[in-house]
């Protein structure tokens, strides 16, 4: 479920050049749709986390899977900005709140004992990243062999396959919550307020903005940047696939590291290393070799944040409220995604290049990474049990 939904979402950028040329949608309009997708996902995630407690994972994930399928179908049949915005934007965003990384990590946490939690979160995040390894090359190959609508038809087939994955994963509803200190009387809003008053959580949630901004900028605009540089369109799909493959290794690595070292410090380190890599790659003249090397480097640092954030929240506040509080932190991530997708498109349309967008992204990334890593070194009193 997570692999296919994440893989298709990360691969939508390969369709941008064809869609903008064929149905009169500008780069900024397409990226606005992707920005709306991320904002819808982020704003809905906390409420979906509360809903999961009431109705269970299976119902939520099944509804999300059907919404995802509907969004892909509407995008495949779009003839203008409205169809692109509804399909790629709002519907897929709502779907991901139900079957994306936040819910996927909560399912994994429920299913395993505490001592194995961090590694298993890394394992599930790794599996989730493998979808781009399949989706991006398939989409690009179908676009080049036929057209972008046939490429989207391939995504429709993949979206159908998400449904049985959600059904099977929903069996976790039968597993007991392992936290012994769960308070059944506390209200969701009280939990949120308590979390936001806890400095490590607040800093992590704010710094999460950088993660969304950098990653969505790359998945949305890297294909356009490579086309602007006159490189083979298939290189963008290959790059996204390499990101997916190395992301699996990075997720496993940081899931393992999170079980041994300070998760918040590791988050800051990832943001710093990402920013350095982005600055270097966009400074040099791109070719197929350094593009694929960059994809491998950035892929290793891609979703390693997911098991670290999910694991840190489970440690701070327990498993029951994990999906909701991951959603609260995820709002910062998705606001960053909105800025990365739409802001990058606006700057490109206005200036004809990505230079300013990259300078802003790298600067904010370095600052947030240093703050996050530094803050992790200070000891703070943990919150009372929820």
Q: Whose CA is closest to 11, among 109, 158, 205, 188?
A: 158
Neighbours of 372 (CB within 10 A): 25
In a 3-state reduction of DSSP, which class is residue 178?
Answer: coil
Give me the domains of the chain, ranges plus CATH numbers.
Answer: 2-174+185-375 (1.20.1250.20)
Please tell me the predicted confidence (pLDDT) of residue 226.
Answer: 83
Distances (CA, A) of 271 to 295, 353, 372: 16, 24, 9
User: For residue 259, what are its two tokens?
Assistant: 């079980």
DSSP letter at 285? Answer: P
Please tell me the predicted confidence (pLDDT) of residue 385.
Answer: 54
Q: Whose CA is closest to 120, among 104, 139, 98?
A: 104
| pTM for this predicted structure | 0.74
Please tell me the predicted confidence (pLDDT) of residue 277.
Answer: 92
Please tell me the predicted confidence (pLDDT) of residue 158.
Answer: 92
Q: Do 96 and 38 meet the contact criterion of CB atoms below 8 Å apart?
A: no
Please tell me the predicted confidence (pLDDT) of residue 180.
Answer: 47
Query: What is the full per-residue pLDDT of the chain (386 aa) written as tens digits?
Result: 888 988 898 788 788 888 888 888 887 788 888 888 888 888 888 888 888 888 888 999 999 999 999 999 999 998 888 999 999 889 999 999 998 877 888 888 777 777 777 788 778 877 777 777 788 788 888 888 888 899 999 999 999 999 999 999 888 888 766 554 455 567 778 888 888 888 888 888 888 888 888 888 887 788 778 878 888 777 877 887 788 788 888 888 888 888 888 888 999 999 999 999 999 988 888 888 888 999 999 989 887 888 888 888 888 887 777 778 888 888 888 888 788 877 887 888 788 878 888 888 899 989 989 999 888 776 555 565 55
Which residues fall within 8 angstroms of residue 50, CB to CB, at 6 or more apart?
Answer: 188, 324
């Amino acid at each position: 479920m997570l692999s296919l939904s994440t893989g298709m979402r990360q691969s939508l950028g390969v369709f941008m050049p064809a869609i903008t040329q064929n149905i009169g949608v500008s780069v900024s309009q397409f990226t606005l749709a992707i920005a709306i997708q991320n904002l819808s996902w982020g704003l809905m995630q906390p409420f979906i986390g509360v809903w999961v407690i009431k109705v269970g994972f299976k119902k939520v994930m099944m509804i999300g899977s059907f919404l995802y399928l509907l969004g892909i179908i509407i995008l495949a049949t779009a003839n203008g900005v409205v169809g692109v915005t509804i399909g790629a934007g709002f519907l897929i965003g709502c779907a991901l709140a139900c079957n994306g990384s936040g819910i996927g990590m909560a399912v994994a946490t429920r299913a395993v004992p505490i001592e194995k939690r961090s590694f298993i979160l890394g394992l599930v995040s790794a599996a989730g990243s493998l979808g781009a390894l399949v989706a991006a090359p398939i989409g690009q190959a179908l676009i080049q062999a036929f057209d972008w609508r046939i490429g989207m038809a391939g995504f429709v087939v993949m979206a159908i396959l998400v449904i049985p994955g959600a059904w099977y994963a929903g069996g976790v509803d039968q597993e007991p919550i392992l936290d012994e200190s769960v308070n059944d009387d506390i209200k969701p809003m009280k939990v949120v307020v308590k979390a936001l008053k806890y400095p490590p959580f607040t800093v992590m949630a704010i710094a999460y903005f950088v993660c969304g901004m950098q990653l969505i900028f790359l998945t949305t605009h890297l294909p356009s940047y490579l086309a602007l540089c006159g490189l083979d369109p298939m290189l963008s799909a290959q790059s996204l696939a390499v990101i997916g493959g190395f992301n699996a290794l990075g997720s496993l690595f940081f899931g393992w590291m999170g079980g041994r070292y300070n998760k918040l410090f590791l988050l800051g380190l990832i943001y710093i290393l990402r920013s350095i890599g982005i600055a270097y790659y966009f400074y040099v003249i791109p070719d197929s070799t350094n593009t694929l090397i960059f994809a491998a480097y950035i892929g290793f640092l891609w979703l390693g944040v997911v098991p670290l954030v999910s694991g840190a929240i489970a440690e701070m506040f327990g498993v029951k409220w994990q999906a909701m509080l991951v959603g609260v932190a995820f709002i910062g991530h998705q606001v960053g995604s909105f800025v990365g997708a739409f802001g990058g498109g606006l700057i490109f349309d206005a200036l004809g290049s990505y230079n300013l967008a990259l300078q802003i992204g790298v600067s904010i990334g370095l600052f947030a990474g240093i703050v996050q890593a530094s803050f992790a070194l200070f000891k703070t009193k943990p919150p009372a049990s929820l």
